[in-house]
Amino acid sequence: MTSDDAEPTVPTPRDPATPEPTRIIPTEAPAAAEPTADGPPLSALVPPAAGSGSMPMPPPGSDASYRQNGGRSVTQRSFGRPAAEEPNFRPVYQGQAWPTQRPGYQPTYTPPPPIDWHQQQARAYTPAPPPKTNRVVAIAAAVALVIGVIAGAGAAVTVVSLNGNTSPVAEQPTPPVGTGADPKIRTGSVSAVASTLLPSVVQLRVEGADDSNATGSGFVIDNVGHILTNNHVVAAAAKGGSIQVVAEGGKPATARLVGRSPAYDLAIVQVAGLKAPSVQFGRSDLAIVGQDVVAIGSPLGLAGTVTSGIISAKNRPVTTSGEPADPESFINALQTDAAINPGNSGGPLVDMNARVIGVNSAIATVRGSQEGQSGNIGLGFAIPIDQARRTAQQLIANGQASYPVIGAQVDMQFEGGARVSKVDVGSPAARAGLRVGDVITSINNQAVDTAEALIVAIRTHQPGESVKLAYERGGRERQATVALASQIG
């Protein structure tokens, strides 16, 4: 389709609220329009000159035009009346500005509004922000008010003075450093246990007659200066030598050896006039695996050392090497992961109520480690306080202690039970019918898988008690009841 065939496009009347699109003014002069009968030629591009119409427009605010035309407005005259009755009326075409006559006070050309006309109008109705200085003052005043409530009038004055006030402000006094209130010790905490037990724990320094020496720990058990410790700590002074006891914050004091039990690895020494509180005993049979415990002692000569951990296991059969003249010690021990090192021996293992439930006695070492290089690897062992208390009472009363026996020996190399290697004539074992070669598999329904397990299980009882043994002979299971005898050691 060509331009000659196309129908003329009728532009849509523009909404007065919509900004007029940008107009392009041609650089070449437009073609002359044909003159009209009423005046100079009209053009859609060039507006007519002011006053060229036959009826000049009345000044603004006048209603003369309305009264001359019978009270009808110009707009009313523009529609529904023939042109012959109104010779000065000229029809207009859509798109042409109305009216064609322009008042003398209106410019001949009105430039289009800028592209950002709407933005300018929006900004024109946006209230201006308050002065910056007022905002700063308001913020400073608000901060001063908050700080003044928290810290007092001195802090508030300091903040306000930053708002341009250069007058000096008196410096407020500050609290002295390092003189605050003492922290509260929570009941049942390690610190509470330590503060309770440390005055009762002592360090032992032992020198033997043969120039041997040892260090260890102990704790006061009564108000006359009796101290419970391990036998292997004081064994060097059993045949001469000296034992020095150092209490918390005190001077070394000489102690005497009251008694010792190599079988249980326990000993009692006494310091006359010792000014130290005694401990409180707990019950080791009520201890449970996983409960928190604290170990106190003098590892490696460091007195008053506190470590913490848990009960890792119960009824661990532990054998400690004795002195050449002493038999081995067999302990039905409490196992703990609280750090225990050489020098902790004889110190207390306590629960979180500051009650002693064990006597730290031994540690496991890595096989092949040289002497003097062993240390804590998380496997420490303590003598249950139930047994230690009975033995301590015997040592204080008699200077020696007894332990139960069945009157038979077992093979220490055999595994899978305790195999009897010797039965003493007239012993409780002989009276119960035990023979060499019998393999004991349980005691009081407690399984026995090694010789050590049988020995420590027997030593948890007292002489005179009866125990029930299950054993195998020739592939057949048998049972026997044995009354325990007593032996000093």
Distance of CA 417 to the CA centre of its chain: 48
In the set 298, 345, 402, 442, the catalytic residue is 345
Residue 204: name the closest of 239, 236, 229 by CA. Answer: 229
Residue type, 203: Q
State the catalytic residue, choosing from 265, 326, 337, 351: 265
Catalytic residue among 200, 217, 232, 326: 232
CB 419 within 8 A of CB 318: no
C-alpha–C-alpha distance, residues 239 and 207, integer Å:
11
Q: Is 232 a catalytic residue?
A: yes
Quote the Cα angle for 45-48-52, to 5°.
Answer: 165
Query: Among residues 167, 173, 169, which one has the least CA distance to residue 156?
Result: 169
Give the whole-angstrom CA distance, residue 399 versus residue 462. Answer: 18
Are 188 and 353 a contacting pair, CB within 8 Å?
Answer: yes
Give, as one character, the DSSP assignment of residue 450.
Answer: B
| The residue to which tokens 């110009």 are assigned | 74
Tokens read off for 376: 């804590």
In the beta sheet, which residues pair with residue 253?
245
Residue 242 tokens, joined:
């000296």
Residue 285 designated active-site: no
Please list the active-site residues: 232, 265, 345
